[in-house]
Amino acid sequence: MPKTPLQTSDPELYNILVNEVSREDTTLELIASENFVSYPVLEMAGGVMTNKYAEGYPGKRYYGGCEFVDEAENLARDRANQLFGVEYSNVQPHSGSQANMAALMTFIDVGDTILGLDLAHGGHLTHGSKVNFSGNLYHSVSYQVEKETGRVDFDQVLSLAREHRPKLIICGGSAYPRFIEFEDFKEIAEDVSAFLMADIAHPSGLVATGLHPSPVPYCDVITTTTHKTLRGPRGGMIMMGKDSGNPWEIVAPKSGRLKNISELLDSAVMPGIQGGPLMHIIAAKAVAFGEALQPDFTVYTQQVVDNAKAMANEFLSRDYELISGGTDTHVILIDLSNKAMTGKVAENALEKAGITVNKNMVPFDERSPFITSGIRIGTPAITTRGMSQDDMVKIVALIDAIIEKPDDEDNIVRVKAEVKDLCTSFPLYSDLRA
């Protein structure tokens, strides 16, 4: 095979790339926020639109030569609107965090109060964590889940909302295995006249295919990433739908004038927090949204959920404690306390056996985020490889074998060989191997 340009010019980095292809192919990727994009998405993400400066929006750029990137961004927006049933989308945020930052900047002023899910209870850094801009620039109050059910404690949300009068409430999170309860949040937001923002970064692929309730009828603004269950390139997006009763005009935080929210959101993203958009990634988002509009994608997301449920049942039958007792989505959160094991030890031992998970705090965790009592598992990536329920049962058995004997090197070698065999039956990126 002829050498690739990278192989010729920079063999050191070429080898790093090839090693990553091999790692993804020969290990079980169970990180709930990861997925494997298609070749067409890769082609666009690695294409020449990376060269183009296009500050501004289609038809209103600060640079010439934007004819084709305009077409790509318009397609990305149109497809996003169709996919989620919304009237407005901004596909420029470089990440979910930047989508969240732009949304907060649009709806509220620095110093205003926000109410979001505690990071240690499944929330996200940008939902008000003290180590993040959201907890620094805003007065942040956090709600939690109930100890017994692992589900959002709506009595607490209501009482915190009435006590602190947040200007904006955030629903959604990074380690919440159940459907986000948009309707319940809406009731509370209305009670205290707060804006309601949904962060659907995790379940957006399930939302797009109707397997998770839609936030559109309830939320003033919706943010997401594009690379998790949605299976696009790494990035973020902001949306608004008319169904929510959102007036599409608000008194702008700074000027005090009545403004169209979509215009405020656009200018919060650029020039507010970003400069030049990543046009290769925006075009790759358009490709991924096109894929997600195909009937096959619903077959895929249904399998993601079926696989997560099959895994959850198998874990339960092996005496594992699952937060909330199971899952509605692609996420499973396991408390390993009854296995006398920390999340950190489990993550390291599983990684040695070729199984990639992340340590994760569980609600009311007494351990630090660097140790944790739990692990988070997700099925989007292994489902993309074509795995189904029978494979989930095998994978849980392999995980259990490691959790039982995390220090037994022979056991790790045996499990690693089985992981490799399983991966060989579901090849990934065969065309990209050295």
Strand, coil or helix: 185: helix
Q: Please report, in angstroms and rounded to a whole number, the separation of the first and last CA atoms in the chain.
A: 9
50: annotated active-site residue: no
Closest CA to 106 of 245, 279, 241, 270: 270
CB of 227 to ligand DSN, least distance (A): 10
* C-alpha radius of gyration, the chain, whole number: 22
Closest distance of CB 95 from ligand DSN, Å: 8
Minimal distance in Å, beta carbon 369 to ligand DSN?
12
Q: Report residue 391 as tokens.
A: 């494979």
CA 433 to chain centre: 27
Q: Return the structure tokens found at 407.
A: 């220090």
Q: Which residues bind ligand DSN (CB under 6 A)?
A: 33, 96, 124, 174
Active-site option among 25, 29, 199, 220: 199
Catalytic residue from among 77, 79, 228, 259: 228
Pick the catalytic residue from 14, 26, 55, 318. Answer: 55
Cβ 107 vs Cβ 132: under 8 Å: no
Report which of 175, 170, 96 is spatially closest to residue 361, judged by C-alpha positions.
175
Measured from the CB atom, the residue of 174 and 246 that comes closer to ligand DSN is 174
Q: Which is the catalytic residue, given 26, 53, 146, 405?
A: 53
Q: Which of 33/140 has CB closer to ligand DSN? A: 33
* Active-site entry in 234, 309, 376, 416: 234
- Give, for 171, the enclosing helix (H) or strand (E): strand 168-171
What region, left, alpha or beta, does residue 332 occupy, with left being phi > 0 and alpha being psi -120 to 50 degrees? beta
- CB-nearer residue toward ligand DSN: 208 or 252: 208
**Number of helices and strands in the chain (H, E):** 16, 17
Annotated catalytic, 234?
A: yes
CB of 290 or CB of 378, closer to ligand DSN: 378
Residue closer to ligand DSN by CB (options 77, 124) is 124
Give the integer Cα–Cα distance in Å for 390 and 307: 9
242 near 249, Cβ under 8 Å? no
Give the active site residue among 27, 209, 225, 379.
Answer: 225
In the complex, what is the shortest distance from the CB of residue 334 to ligand DSN, in angstroms, rounded to a whole number?
Answer: 15
Q: Which two tokens stand for residue 310?
A: 């099959």
- Give me the least distance between CB of 175 and ligand DSN, in Å please: 7
The smaller minimum CB distance to ligand DSN, of residues 30 and 311, is found at 30
Cβ distance 339 to 379 under 8 Å? no
Parallel, antiparallel, or unpaired: how do β-strands 195-199 and 28-29 relate?
A: unpaired
Q: What is the distance between the alpha carbons of residues 107 and 66, in angstroms, rounded to a whole number?
A: 30
CB of 228 to ligand DSN, least distance (A): 7
Q: Is 228 a catalytic residue?
A: yes
Active site residue 55: yes
CB closest to ligand DSN, residue no: 33
The catalytic site residues sit at 53, 55, 199, 225, 228, 234
